[in-house]
Amino acid sequence: MQAGITFVIPIGVYHMYKSLYFYVGSGKPSENNSASSQTAAPPDKENAAEPEPQQLRPDAVITGNLAYDLKLIKAAIGQNSDVNFREFVVRGFQARAVLMYVNGMQDEEQINKQVMQPLMMMDKQEGRGELLPDRLSCEYVKENLLPLAQISEAKDMKDLQESVLFGYTALLIDGMPHALYVGLPNGANRAITEPTSEALLRGPRLGFTEVLSENTSMLRRQGLNKNLEMKTYEVGNLMKKKLVIAYINNIVNQDLLQDVTERICKIDMDYIAESGYVEQLIEDNYLSPFQQTQNTERPDRVISALLEGRIAILLDGTPFALIVPVTFSMLLQSPEDYYERWLPGSLLRLMRFGASFMALMAPALYISFISFHPGLIPTELAISIILTRAGVPFPSVIEVMILEISIEILREAGIRLPKPIGPAMGIVGGLIIGDAAVQAGIVSPFLVIVVAVTAISSFSIPMYSAGITLRILRFAGMIFAAVLGMFGTILFFLLICIHLTKLKSFGVPYVTPFSPIRLGDWKDLYLRAPLSLMRRRPEMLKTQIKKRRGK
């Protein structure tokens, strides 16, 4: 009978896992239908055109007849109250012209000085002897009239309408069958600030912003390198967004690059709100509690990852860039490890490994020692713990759960509180409730120590999302410990090891410097070896140029 149960349950679990995996995976384009959506760009165009198919022919060209063009455009986008049409006359040619822009997204001063002024003030006499052509041509306007660096032409009517709505300032002149973009979108932006989720004591104070072009420029400004390549893709079916894949051309492994590009192209979503969307759509195993991309706000972190042979994915509208592939050890590293001298860097890193082990295992160990094996800890310690627990009416599992869950709630509440209230809640939550709970005899003081140490340990993990993973797993560990004591804790540890070993991030084994063992990469694992010793890029990424230094 028992054998039967032993047999049936894993099959059930296995099938549940499989079906869950397929269910979750059904939202993602799988290998089978990849052929239908090889590139994201072409189908996008058609989808976007759908809302207004009656008003315009999709392949409408700009005729050069201003009145007709304008009518067409107004029919398509004129109903938006924030779209402005400024009509005027180009003085030298007596040609009618119109400027189109969206309120608040044009650069007022630049338009006035560099576009309106030359066009409206120009006289034939001012040509300084040059002969003016009878008709305005696009080239002439670009080359002689508008003193602008950033100027481009619209491809067709649809492109023109979309771009105007996106914030470009467009210029149409009667008799000229082209539309010119004379101003870039210039909406309100946040100033560049220090990255809040990854603050450092020592290191650049620069953090990414929401503007993609600023972010890529920050990457470029990290140093001169003509091999730093960035490729732009458009993602999102309904609302298109730009996505940039950045890598260093002569370092990155080409197979890896191809893999990443393919996965990006397969993204099929109507709107990509944040790089977290991208992360969830391109990761290898979407049922794993471990993240398979690293998100960061720091350009310096991105650049050093690129130099190791990794690939960065930047999305417009979010300050968080993704780094792939990620390995387990990266989650416990901070750029500061490299900025400080190697000895403190190594010690801090070792401490973080210890802290993450504590954050994962401490409550589980507490439960298994207290409930199952008090004999395994030193006798005096066991006695003092048991004395403090004498008044506690719950088994240790419930006791730990109560405190752990309230700590988690406290944490969650603290994130969203306005800054002035935050510390007050910390005092109420941490000090008053903790003390009162001990006084009331619900929990033992020793447990408060354990839980507090666990919480502090989990704060020391540099990646916020990695911390969340450990928090989830901590509860799983507590359940294992509650059922089978030390034996359960060992099983839990083994399960995590097995899972991590099976996990891959873009084809790179997740725990790679540990296993498969690459001793060369151990210099940058527990310890941060002196820079002079780190002569090679990580072996695991199979880069094209292995050495970091010239000689």
Partner 1 sequence: MFKRTDDKITSAQAAIFLTNTVLGAGILTLPRGVTDVVRTPDAWLSLLLGGVIVMLVLLIMVKLSQQFPGHTVYQYSRRIVGTVPGAFLSLLLIVYFIIIAGFEIRVLAEVAMFFLLEGTPIWAIVIPFVWTGAYLLFGGINTIARVYQIIFPISLFVLILCYAFSIKLFELDHLRPVLSEGLVPVLKGLKSTVLVFTGCEVAMTLTAYLQHPKQAVKAMFMGIGIPLVLYLLTIVMVIGGLSLDSVTTSTWPTIDLVRSFEIPGFFFERLEFPLLVIWMMQMFCNFCSFFFNASLGISQVFKLRFHPVVFALIPAIFISVMVPKRINDVFALGDAIGRMGIGLFFLVPVLLSVVLIIRKKGLKQSV
> Which stretches of the chain bind partner 1, using CB under 8 A?
2-7, 9-11, 14, 253, 255-256, 259, 372-373, 376-378, 484-488, 490-491, 493-495, 497-498, 501-502, 506-509, 511, 514-517, 542
**What single DSSP character describes residue 177?**
S
Question: Please, which residue, 17 or 166, has the CB nearer to partner 1?
Answer: 17
What residue has token string 């063009």?
69
Min dist CB 228 to partner 1, Å, is 22
Min dist CB 13 to partner 1, Å, is 8
What residue has token string 């912003």?
209
Question: Please, which residue, 247 or 277, has the CB nearer to partner 1?
Answer: 247
- How far apart (Å, rounded) are the C-alpha atoms in residues 253 and 268? 26
Min dist CB 524 to partner 1, Å, is 18
Question: Please, which residue, 211 or 491, has the CB nearer to partner 1?
Answer: 491
What residue has token string 């560099």?
114
Min dist CB 451 to partner 1, Å, is 19
Min dist CB 277 to partner 1, Å, is 24
Question: Please, which residue, 309 or 319, has the CB nearer to partner 1?
Answer: 309
Question: Please, which residue, 507 or 530, has the CB nearer to partner 1?
Answer: 507
Strand 179-183 to 169-173 pairing: antiparallel
Q: Which two tokens stand for residue 93?
A: 């040619």
Min dist CB 211 to partner 1, Å, is 33
CB 320 within 8 A of CB 502: no
Min dist CB 329 to partner 1, Å, is 13
- How far apart (Å, rounded) are the C-alpha atoms in residues 309 and 227? 12
Question: Please, which residue, 186 or 261, has the CB nearer to partner 1?
Answer: 261
Min dist CB 471 to partner 1, Å, is 23
Q: How many CB atoms lie within 10 A of CB 383?
A: 12
Question: Please, which residue, 141 or 245, has the CB nearer to partner 1?
Answer: 245
Min dist CB 262 to partner 1, Å, is 12
CA distances from 377 to 368, 397, 399 (A): 11, 18, 20
Question: Please, which residue, 168 or 510, has the CB nearer to partner 1?
Answer: 510
Q: How many CB atoms lie within 10 A of CB 5?
A: 9
458 alpha carbon, distance to own chain's centre: 21
Min dist CB 544 to partner 1, Å, is 11
Q: Which two tokens stand for residue 350?
A: 């070792």
CA distances from 239 to 189, 195, 197, 273, 475 (A): 20, 27, 28, 9, 39
Question: Please, which residue, 126 or 255, has the CB nearer to partner 1?
Answer: 255
Min dist CB 377 to partner 1, Å, is 7
Min dist CB 444 to partner 1, Å, is 19
Name which of 153, 142, 131, 149 is nearest 62 in CA terms: 153
What is the SS3 assignment for 28? Answer: coil
Question: Please, which residue, 132 or 491, has the CB nearer to partner 1?
Answer: 491
Sheet holding 311-315, edge to edge: 228-235, 241-248, 311-315, 321-324, 294-296
Strand 294-296 to 321-324 pairing: antiparallel
Min dist CB 10 to partner 1, Å, is 5
Question: Please, which residue, 208 or 506, has the CB nearer to partner 1?
Answer: 506
- How far apart (Å, rounded) are the C-alpha atoms in residues 416 and 459? 17
- How far apart (Å, rounded) are the C-alpha atoms in residues 220 and 223? 6
What is the DSSP code string of 92-131?
TTTEEEEEEEETTSS-HHHIIIIIIHHHHH--SGGGTTPP
Side chain identity at residue 363, one-letter code: P
What is the SS3 assignment for 533? Answer: helix
Question: Please, which residue, 6 or 532, has the CB nearer to partner 1?
Answer: 6
Min dist CB 539 to partner 1, Å, is 12
Question: Please, which residue, 434 or 538, has the CB nearer to partner 1?
Answer: 538
CB 403 within 8 A of CB 447: yes
CA distances from 203 to 209, 219, 314, 371 (A): 18, 15, 21, 46
- How far apart (Å, rounded) are the C-alpha atoms in residues 292 and 326? 6
Question: Please, which residue, 442 or 479, has the CB nearer to partner 1?
Answer: 479
- How far apart (Å, rounded) are the C-alpha atoms in residues 162 and 164? 5
- How far apart (Å, rounded) are the C-alpha atoms in residues 493 and 121? 78
CB 253 within 8 A of CB 508: no
